[in-house]
Amino acid sequence: IKKIAVFTSGGDSPGMNAAIRSVVRTCAFMKIECVGIYRGYEGMIEGDFLPMNARSVNNIINKGGTILKSARCEEFKTREGRQKAYDQLKSEGVDAMVVIGGDGSFTGALLFNEEFGMPVIGIPGTIDNDIFGTRYTLGFDTAINTAMEVIDKIRDTASSHHRLFFVEVMGRDVGHIALNAGVGAGAEEILIPEENLGLERLLESLKRSKLTGKSSSIVVVAEGDKTTGKNVFQLKEYVEEHLPIYDVRVCVLGHMQRGGAPTCFDRVLASRMGVKAVEALLEGKSNLMVGILDDDIAFTPLSEAIKGKTKIDKELIRVSDIMST
């Protein structure tokens, strides 16, 4: 292997730049060439390449987003699109690639490898922490810290006015952000897609909080929560109607959760994963994702990373219940 391509694809997450830096610097250390691809598979099809050396990645370890930009690309889902991408990589002299993204990006990479034999290693970059084969995805730690800090701020205003806040955080299919940020910020209730505790329980709990003298209540709601079959605004209306003792507000955190400087944890994780991704390619490995299990780097076949489901931390749910007593 003489030249490795690196790109970011799908939703961006904090730590992607640190991972790009790690891949580029490891290539430089190993004395092989490295090329960045702008805008994921879209840029691959268009041949939007950037030759990179150790100095191309100065001062990016601390930056959120991705300097290589990211995109979703429908054309790559077609055989013709992938053929164009392959032709571009070949004319650039690329022998192997590192894809930083989520399960969709891995699915595309796997298919590409089956069709054209291009060796590939994946680095899980998504704030949702929903990729099988790694305890942490890149960006998750930053996202939960961002969410927690904002909830802390909401708490200040909530307790000044004796208010109840519903704070919606990201997580359409999984509640990892909600559960962790919620426990970290001392939320009274945390509503996640994995557990439907019902409206009655929520009302009971909120009533109890008020009666036992809490000056504010915060309920963290994952986007994909199914407790009510309602969105967070309808949830607010329901609670106002059935529990008129509360002055209720809603705050949707939205995309701020994806931005910002990565935490030290995410920077270190990205640095470790990037080194291993390049080393794996040089050892002849392919179709694997670099993950972290029990604090050690672990490889999982991309095919399993795509299919497998992550488990919600039941013990943390129990801790949350006890804390909200």
Within residues 143-182, the interface with ligand ATP by CB under 6 A covers none
Closest CA to 269 of 291, 302, 294: 291
Q: Would you say 227 or 310 has its CB closer to ligand ATP?
A: 310
Report in angstroms how near the CB of residue 147 gets to ligand ATP at its nearest: 17
Q: Alpha helices, DSSP H only, in 185-307?
A: 199-211, 232-242, 264-282, 302-307
Distance (Å, rounded) from C-alpha 285 to C-alpha 312? 30
Binds ligand ATP by CB under 6 A, chosen from 9, 17, 26, 257: 9
Residue 101 sits in the site that holds ligand ATP (CB under 6 A): yes
Q: Which residue lies nearer to ligand ATP by CB, 49 or 106?
A: 106
* Contacts with ligand ATP, 205-224, as mask; x by CB under 6 A: --------------------
Q: By the 8 A CB rule, do 41 and 90 touch?
A: no
Nearer to ligand ATP, 101 or 133 (CB): 101
Q: Are 303 and 107 in contact (CB under 8 A)?
A: no
* Of the residues 11, 15, 119, 133, which one makes contact with ligand ATP according to CB under 6 A: 11
Among 126, 129, 134, 205, binds ligand ATP (CB under 6 A): 126
265-286 b/e (C-beta count within 10 Å ≥ 16 → b): ebbebbbbbbbbbbebbbeebb
Q: Nearest-5° angle of CA 196, CA 233, CA 241?
A: 85
Q: Residues interacting with ligand ATP, by CB under 6 A?
A: 9-11, 41, 72-73, 76-77, 101-105, 107-108, 111, 126
